[in-house]
A = this chain, B = another copy of it.
Amino acid sequence: MALRRKKQVEPNRDAPDLGFGTQLGDEVSRFINRDGGFDIRKEGNRGYYAYEQLVEMSWTRFFLVVVSYFIGINLLFALLFGLVGLDHIAGMSSLSTLGGLAEAFFFSVQTFTSVGYGVLHPVGGGANMLASLDALVGLMSFALATGLFFSRFARPIAKIAFSNIGLITPFRDGHSFQMRMVNKRNNHLINMEARMMVTWVGTGADGVRKRQFSMLDLDLNRISLFPMNWTLVHPITQESPLWEKTAEDLRDMNVEILVMVQGFDETYHQEIHARASYVGEEIRWGVKFSPMFRTESGQPTIVDLSRLDTTQPLAV
């Protein structure tokens, strides 16, 4: 079978650089959630990534896991001490089995955490070996917890807040789509770059209704420093897919405007990335953003994060 035989098949990919393909059409209401994630679930042989989960779960759930593990592993050791024989733990005061197991649990905790008061202590080879294992497991668990704590903290989830709304608003002698963002934290983000894309469901050149993608030019797509808020401005020229569209058009086209920013976090010395997206009902018309900052002579400039979504009527 030589490669010379030609055959016409439709291209399965003519979009620019998003990784969604063109087969997802009207049934997908939005690609990027407001939190920057995707509405996609993976199944099949994913393997089991315990560390990934332990790093990414919420703090509440993380502490629940830590406490559950702590109780569970010490209960296990209490049972193992029970198997070896509770009489091999000297210093017990309980006579009942249940009370003895409770004391064995506390003895295990004292060994696992390396507190070792010594009132309870192992007697004989079996109990001593089990106690040694208990202490080793405790130390290793703790080493693991230290790594997890650090990993959880060191993940610089970029705290860039994006405006919940985008605006179609005048710009120069035409119109523009605008949204804005601000760094919520005091760390310095530098060398910020932004890209804006639009996706909509429309009829392509081949007459098939499918998802389209296009980049949107920005008036300014990079800033060196990011001390205040940053407003991204897409001038709606004749080349823009938004040219001469009405609010109803945008909703009919199932429009989603995607914003991707990246930069460098000087505090954590790492690249950071963030995303936002705007669908039809999140786009306001006929207003402009109000300034977010105020200055007083001799005082630091104040950037008020609560004004991120604040707009004002257009000047007449």
Q: Which residues of A contact B (CB under 8 A)?
A: 1-9, 11-13, 17-21, 23-24, 27-28, 31, 37-47, 49, 51-52, 55-56, 66-67, 70, 74, 90, 93, 102-103, 106, 109-111, 113-123, 125, 128-129, 131-132, 135-136, 138-140, 142-151, 153-156, 159, 168, 170-175, 182, 184-188, 190, 192, 195, 197, 219-220, 222-228, 230-231, 233, 236, 242-247, 260, 264, 266-273, 285-286, 291, 293, 295-297, 300-308, 314-315
Contacts and interface: CB of A to CB of B under 8 A. Distances in A.
A146 to B, nearest CB: 4
A150 B152 CA distance: 12
Contacts of A44: 303-308
Given A153-B151, A301-B40, A306-B45, A19 B118 contact: no
Best-buried of A9, A171, A245 by chain B (most CB within 10 Å): A9
Contact of A115 (B111, B143, B301): B111
B43 A302 contact: yes
B227 A40 contact: yes
A187 B70 CA distance: 28
A225 B19 contact: yes
B171 A9 contact: yes
A271 to B, nearest CB: 6
Given A7-B173, A27-B295, A149 B153 contact: no
B224 A18 contact: yes
17 contacts: A2-B245, A3-B243, A9-B172, A19-B192, A27-B296, A41-B302, A42-B303, A44-B306, A46-B185, A56-B267, A66-B140, A106-B129, A113-B114, A113-B136, A113-B139, A142-B146, A268-B269
B51 A153 contact: yes
Given A43-B303, A174-B6, A267 B52 contact: yes
Contacts of A305: 42-46
A236 to B, nearest CB: 5
B246 A2 contact: yes
B146 A143 contact: yes
A109 B135 contact: yes
A183 B302 CA distance: 33
Contacts of A66: 136, 140
A192 to B, nearest CB: 7
A240 to B, nearest CB: 9
A31 B297 CA distance: 14
A6 B308 CA distance: 26
Best-buried of A3, A8, A272, A300 by chain B (most CB within 10 Å): A3
